[in-house]
Amino acid sequence: METGAKKETVTFKITGDWKRQADKLKEKFPQLTDSDLKFESGRESDLLKRIESRLHKKREEVMNIIKKGQPTTL
């Protein structure tokens, strides 16, 4: 039995209108650039790394910030 030796990989997907979400993120965090927020489907990990680096935040924090701006499905 493994006990935490393997780090859990959380898949993160962008939903909704990314352009709109990116604009809101730039308003909230003016240090983010268009280049930081460039999104390619399937490359969410790269996007998260750029935002983490620019905001000096951990991955989980960045994912939570982005999730708050995504549309909710009921």
Provide the sign of the torsion angle of the four alpha carbons 15, 71, 67, 32, taken in this order. positive
Mean pLDDT, the chain, rounded, equals: 85
d(CA 66, CA 18): 10
pLDDT at 14 over 50: yes
Compute how many other C-beta atoms are within 10 angstroms of the C-beta atom of residue 37: 19
26 neighbors 50 (Cβ within 8 angstroms)? no
d(CA 1, CA 36): 40
Report percent pLDDT > 90 for the chain: 64
Query: What's the average model confidence in pLDDT over 48-72?
Result: 92
pTM of the model: 0.78
